[in-house]
């Protein structure tokens, strides 16, 4: 109870301090300005100098416990404020030294006690501190911050794509993706700010050197010409005060620059600095043994001190012995656990009821199989709507008992397809197959292969986004969903690959992304007539009049074909009421599926417009020239309502396809969505002509653009 009360009291106190922190910062900035203008008493100067040293020590110690740079995102601003604070103190102490020949007890102590009252030693110590800070710590931290800022900015597109891949595969939700995007932006801002903030520390060191020189010259002038002191006395008095002032200012500055170096160099830290260092030096016993032997050899050499080297050799050797013994004990424990573990293969996991048989070889003691009945043979004729065959090395990614989360991801993919496209993805059966490679998988739609790929479960897939010129060590492969060149890399290279600009995803995300793309490409085939019946029953609960009128003029098969046509062109079918109303209206005029599909698309004009417009709300598109449109209309026998047939010269068709392809490539290069705007009478025909040659293109008609949306044309396909 007492501990709980103490914790509650500390939390309450911290909240109170945080509530008034803005006032404290404002008062500090006002104090900095006042210190530059108004003389302060020596006791207050002593207090502020002690605060400056305390701030440097606390900041340095805090960086030891920070696991990532964003945990101390305030550091660039803190660096600026502390630098201004030190410069204000320099101005105040300079004023006191030159006016009164006294700047407080702290400066006197540093001038007399720390350097032994010898101003020559003090000047040398001060110069050494300035050199260490400027040429070593500050310059190194500045370079690290500069490189980190550049690599962070270069890696932002790849990290964004990685987040999108994790979101699409169901590894994270929308809130998690938003948080990770914010972290990436904050990380880029932090390293950019650190790159600039390091200049403050460097400038502070230079300013301290100049101020010290000015103080010595000014002190000598005042002591000799204004106070009648002899040259030696003036030099001793004012030099000691100036050196004490410089040391008091440079020590916290050195602490802050060291803290800056620590925080920008701990990019891959997994824990606090102390445990990281201990784990790094005590992971392998052999380097410790070798070091002990070298130290012992140096201790036995004539002319070298024996005690330090021999003592360190014994300590290092004992540490190596301890580390090696602990490693051997862990290995023995692992062997005992492996010996006690049950042998034999387990059941392979499945995505839905009806899991596959055991992946391993059959046991010699299995009972004799019973005769196969006709009913069992009939079950083999059933074709699953979707199934995935996996090699035995991929089973741990699927099996929840082995830490696999693929089944949860599949559930997320099904929800995502329902929300984005209105597609109800049927249960996906997962079975192991010992006839394929252990790391291979096959995705099937209605028994036919729709995708194939390989996964290395303990590796990450690194894809070059196009801006990476450096090579990475890995196993060359192709990303299975889009066919992009990629590398399988070990986990310890993940951070390096992301910093170089690669898009890095784990093996389950690769499989989930491939599965999502297969569903999108084959969504029309997954929409069976039975699913259409379920959809109409669902709509009938809320809009029975629409469904009754629709079924009075069209059959389930015709409705199914219209919905499949919409899905093939990536048009969501979630708004079934609007689609069914359009089909009910025009189904009385014609039962042509092509005609009804075009009318349904026009009814969904608002949805189509939103899908193809840019972030600014403008639709950017290329248009088909009137000459091509007239040629197509002249080559069509019949119309959409009664049926049609195209009679065009194949060479003319290939020429048109080539022109459209070049126009779409130019739009993609300009980072624009590939949209082709055509006359309503030829939209479907143009789409059917190019769908086998050009993928991922939006062919829309003028009737499918909602009123009020601005259209910007980027050229005409001649």
Q: DSSP letter string over 43-91?
A: HHHHHHHHHHHHHHHHHHHHHHS-SSGGGGTTHHHHHHHHHHHHHHHHH
How far is 231 from 228, CA to CA, in rounded Å? Answer: 9
Asked if pLDDT for residue 118 goes beyond 80, the answer is no
* 464 belongs to a structural domain: yes
Please write the tens of the pLDDT for every residue from 319-371: 777 877 777 777 666 665 555 544 433 333 344 433 333 333 334 344 444 55
Torsion of CA 187, 189, 191, 197, to 10 degrees: -150
Instruction: Looking at the structure, tell me whether residues 200 and 55 fall in a common domain.
Output: yes
Instruction: Looking at the structure, tell me whether residues 56 and 194 fall in a common domain.
Output: yes
Give the residue, 619 or 178, on which the prediction is more confident. 619
Q: Point out the domain boundary residue: 271, 291, 312.
A: 271
Task: For residue 443, name the pLDDT band (cuts at 50, 70, 90).
Answer: very high
pLDDT of res. 545: 92
How far is 189 from 81, CA to CA, in rounded Å? Answer: 18
Instruction: Looking at the structure, tell me whether residues 590 and 557 fall in a common domain.
Output: yes
Instruction: Looking at the structure, tell me whether residues 88 and 151 fall in a common domain.
Output: yes
Please write the tens of the pLDDT for every residue from 382-420: 788 888 898 888 888 888 888 888 888 888 888 888 888
Token representation of residue 212: 């010290």
CATH code for the domain in which residue 507 is found: 3.40.30.60
Asked if pLDDT for residue 13 goes beyond 70, the answer is no
CATH code for the domain in which residue 536 is found: 1.10.8.540
* 363 belongs to a structural domain: no
Q: State residue 679 phi and psi, 5-degree precision.
A: -70, 145
How far is 461 from 487, CA to CA, in rounded Å? Answer: 6
pLDDT of res. 396: 87
- Indicate the burial class of 699 (C-beta count within 10 angstroms; 0-12, 13-18, 19 or more): buried
Please write the tens of the pLDDT for every residue from 224-274: 777 777 777 777 777 777 777 777 777 787 788 778 777 777 654 555 666
Q: Point out the domain boundary residue: 603, 636, 665.
A: 603
Instruction: Looking at the structure, tell me whether residues 508 and 539 fall in a common domain.
Output: no
Asked if pLDDT for residue 436 goes beyond 80, the answer is yes
Instruction: Residue 512: name the closest of 464, 465, 475, 480 by CA.
Output: 480
Task: For residue 464, name the pLDDT band (cuts at 50, 70, 90).
Answer: confident
Highest mean pLDDT among 206-210, 280-284, 299-303, 445-449: 445-449
How far is 130 from 632, CA to CA, in rounded Å? Answer: 80
Structural contact between residues 635 and 646, judged by C-beta atoms closer than 8 angstroms: yes
* 222 belongs to a structural domain: yes
Asked if pLDDT for residue 110 goes beyond 70, the answer is yes
pLDDT of res. 442: 92
The lowest-confidence range among 18-27, 84-93, 698-707 is 18-27
Residue matched to tokens 């492969």? 477
How many other CB atoms are found less than 10 A from the CB of residue 388?
A: 26
Asked if pLDDT for residue 376 goes beyond 60, the answer is no
Q: What percent of the chain lies above the pLDDT cut of 70? A: 78
* 537 belongs to a structural domain: yes
pLDDT of res. 343: 40
Asked if pLDDT for residue 40 goes beyond 70, the answer is yes
Instruction: Looking at the structure, tell me whether residues 516 and 490 fall in a common domain.
Output: yes
* 276 belongs to a structural domain: no
* 455 belongs to a structural domain: yes
* 354 belongs to a structural domain: no
Q: Which domain holds residue 489?
A: 379-521
- Residues forming a β-bridge with 643: 639
Asked if pLDDT for residue 567 goes beyond 70, the answer is yes
Task: For residue 45, name the pLDDT band (cuts at 50, 70, 90).
Answer: confident
Asked if pLDDT for residue 441 goes beyond 90, the answer is yes
pLDDT of res. 289: 77
Instruction: Give me the number of domains the chain comprises.
Output: 5
pLDDT of res. 627: 87
pLDDT of res. 109: 76
Instruction: Looking at the structure, tell me whether residues 514 and 538 fall in a common domain.
Output: no
Asked if pLDDT for residue 609 goes beyond 50, the answer is yes
Instruction: Looking at the structure, tell me whether residues 584 and 655 fall in a common domain.
Output: no
**H helix runs in 266-387, sequence order:** 273-281, 285-300, 306-340, 374-380
Instruction: Looking at the structure, tell me whether residues 215 and 146 fall in a common domain.
Output: yes
Instruction: Residue 246: name the closest of 99, 121, 80, 75 by CA.
Output: 121
Instruction: Looking at the structure, tell me whether residues 517 and 531 fall in a common domain.
Output: no
Instruction: Looking at the structure, tell me whether residues 48 and 153 fall in a common domain.
Output: yes
Instruction: Looking at the structure, tell me whether residues 599 and 635 fall in a common domain.
Output: no
Q: State residue 425 phi and psi, 5-degree precision.
A: -75, 125
* 345 belongs to a structural domain: no
- Indicate the burial class of 342 (C-beta count within 10 angstroms; 0-12, 13-18, 19 or more): exposed
Instruction: Report the pLDDT averaged over residues 481-504.
Output: 86
Please write the tens of the pLDDT for every residue from 687-702: 888 887 887 888 888 8
């Amino acid at each position: 109870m007492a501990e709980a009360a103490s914790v509650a009291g500390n939390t309450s106190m911290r909240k109170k301090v945080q509530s008034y922190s803005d006032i404290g910062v404002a008062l500090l900035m006002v104090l900095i300005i006042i210190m530059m203008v108004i003389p302060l008493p020596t006791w207050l100067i002593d207090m502020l100098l002690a605060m400056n040293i305390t701030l440097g020590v606390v900041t340095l110690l805090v960086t030891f416990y920070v696991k990532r740079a964003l945990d101390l995102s305030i550091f660039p601003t803190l660096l600026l404020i502390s630098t201004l604070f030190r410069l204000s103190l320099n101005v105040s102490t300079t004023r006191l030294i030159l006016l009164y020949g006294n700047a407080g007890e702290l400066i006197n102590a540093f001038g007399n006690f720390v350097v032994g009252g010898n101003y020559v030693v003090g000047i040398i110590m001060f110069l050494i501190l300035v050199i260490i800070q400027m040429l070593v710590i500050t310059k190194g931290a500045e370079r690290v911050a500069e490189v980190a800022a550049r690599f962070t900015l270069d890696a932002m597109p790849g990290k964004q794509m990685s987040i999108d891949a994790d979101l699409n595969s169901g590894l994270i939700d929308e809130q998690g993706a938003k948080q990770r995007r914010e972290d990436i932006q904050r990380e880029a801002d932090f390293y950019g700010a650190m790159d600039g903030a390091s200049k403050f520390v460097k400038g502070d060191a230079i300013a301290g050197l100049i101020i010290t020189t000015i103080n010595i010259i000014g002190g000598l002038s005042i002591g000799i010409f204004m106070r009648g002191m002899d040259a030696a006395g003036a030099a001793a008095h004012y030099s000691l005060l100036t050196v004490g002032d410089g040391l008091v200012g440079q020590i916290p500055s050195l602490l802050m620059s060291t803290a800056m170096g620590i925080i920008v160099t701990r990019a891959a830290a997994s824990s606090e600095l102390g445990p990281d260092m201990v784990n790094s030096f005590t992971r392998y016993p052999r380097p410790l043994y070798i070091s002990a032997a070298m130290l012992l050899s140096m201790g036995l050499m004539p002319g070298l001190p024996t005690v330090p080297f021999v003592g360190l050799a014994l300590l290092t050797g004992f540490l190596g012995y301890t580390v090696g013994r602990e490693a051997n004990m862990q290995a023995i424990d692992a062997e005992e656990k492996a010996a006690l573990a049950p042998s034999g293969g387990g059941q392979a996991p499945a995505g839905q009821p009806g899991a596959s048989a055991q992946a391993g070889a059959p046991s010699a003691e299995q009972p004799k199989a019973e005769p196969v009945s006709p009913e069992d043979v009939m079950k083999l004729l059933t074709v699953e709507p979707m199934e995935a065959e996996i090699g035995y090395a991929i089973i741990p990614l699927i099996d929840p008992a082995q830490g696999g989360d693929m089944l949860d991801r599949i559930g997320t993919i099904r929800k995502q397809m329902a929300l984005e496209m209105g597609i109800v993805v049927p249960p996906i059966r997962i079975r192991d197959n010992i006839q394929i490679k252990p790391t291979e998988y096959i995705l099937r739609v209605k028994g036919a292969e729709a995708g194939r790929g390989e996964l290395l479960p303990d590796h990450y897939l690194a894809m070059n986004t196009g801006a990476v010129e450096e090579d990475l060590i890995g196993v060359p492969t192709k990303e299975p969903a889009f066919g992009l060149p990629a590398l399988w890399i070990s986990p310890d290279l993940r951070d390096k690959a992301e910093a170089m600009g690669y898009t890095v995803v784990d093996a389950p995300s690769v499989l989930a992304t491939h599965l999502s793309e297969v569903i999108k490409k084959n969504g029309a085939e997954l929409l069976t007539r039975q699913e259409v019946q379920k959809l109409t029953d669902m709509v009938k609960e809320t809009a029975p009049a629409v469904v009754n009128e629709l079924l009075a003029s069209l059959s389930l098969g015709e409705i199914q074909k219209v919905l499949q046509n919409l899905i093939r062109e990536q048009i969501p079918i979630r708004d079934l009421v609007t689609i069914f109303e359009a089909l009910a209206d025009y189904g009385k005029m014609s039962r042509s599926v092509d005609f009804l599909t075009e009318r349904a698309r026009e009814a969904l004009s608002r949805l189509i417009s939103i899908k193809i417009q840019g972030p600014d709300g403008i639709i950017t598109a290329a248009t088909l020239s009137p000459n091509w449109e007239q040629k197509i209309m002249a080559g069509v026998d019949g119309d959409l309502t009664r049926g049609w047939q195209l009679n065009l010269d194949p060479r003319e068709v290939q020429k048109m396809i080539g022109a459209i392809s070049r126009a779409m490539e130019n739009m993609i290069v300009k980072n624009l969505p590939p949209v082709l705007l055509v006359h309503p009478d030829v939209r479907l025909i143009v789409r059917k002509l190019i769908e086998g040659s050009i993928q991922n293109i939006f062919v829309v008609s003028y009737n499918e653009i909602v009123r009020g949306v601005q259209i910007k044309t980027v050229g005409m396909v001649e």
